[in-house]
């Protein structure tokens, strides 16, 4: 089993975490922990992906986790030099535009000078969740929203027991 090798260094005030190999489920937790540690020592993190050949969804989750930790610390996590197949995975799951991506670590450190300025707090969950409206489909009308006054209700279990429903 081929896994990821991880190397952390400092470059112009940023923590640079270089990944090499394949980032998958076997190593995702260790990478997330290393990124969290890097965020604790300084909010600006550049992840060098120049030698990362493969990433799966657990690897992407590790990057997202590190990014969340960096943002909590008032900075951000940016990506540098990803291969086409790594960017393809990010694009497939619609995260290619969520990360700031640079061609090199040097460019990332130059351009990401405003990491603290553009970092945003992680999104908060809504205070009140609303249930979606019920949808119905008919051949004549197609798909439409069912008015809430006509939405089916869940029968009372005691009422069901009295009617012989089980």
Scanning the structure block, which residue is given the tokens 């960096």? Answer: 70
Global confidence as pTM: 0.68
In tens, the pLDDT along 22-33 reads 999 999 999 999
Q: How confident is the model at residue 103 (pLDDT cuts 50, 70, 90)?
A: very high
Query: Is pLDDT above 70 for 14?
Result: yes
Closest alpha carbon to 62 in 120, 105, 6, 1: 6
Q: Report the alpha-carbon distance of residue 30 to residue 14 in Å, rounded.
A: 20
């Amino acid at each position: 089993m081929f896994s990821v090798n991880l190397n952390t260094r400092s470059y112009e005030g940023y923590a640079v975490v270089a990944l090499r190999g394949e980032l998958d489920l076997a190593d995702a937790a260790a990478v997330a922990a290393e990124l969290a540690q890097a965020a604790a020592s300084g909010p600006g993190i550049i992840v060098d992906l120049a030698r990362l050949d493969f990433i799966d969804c657990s690897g992407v989750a590790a990057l997202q986790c590190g990014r969340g930790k960096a943002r909590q610390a008032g900075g951000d996590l940016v990506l540098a030099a990803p291969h086409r197949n790594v960017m393809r995975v990010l694009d497939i799951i619609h995260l290619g535009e969520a990360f700031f991506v640079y061609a090199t670590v040097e460019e990332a450190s130059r351009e990401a000078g405003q990491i603290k300025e553009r970092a945003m707090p992680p999104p908060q969950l809504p205070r009140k969740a609303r249930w979606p409206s019920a949808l119905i489909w008919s051949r004549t009308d197609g798909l439409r929203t069912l008015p809430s006054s006509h939405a089916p209700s869940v029968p009372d279990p005691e009422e069901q027991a009295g009617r012989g429903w089980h």
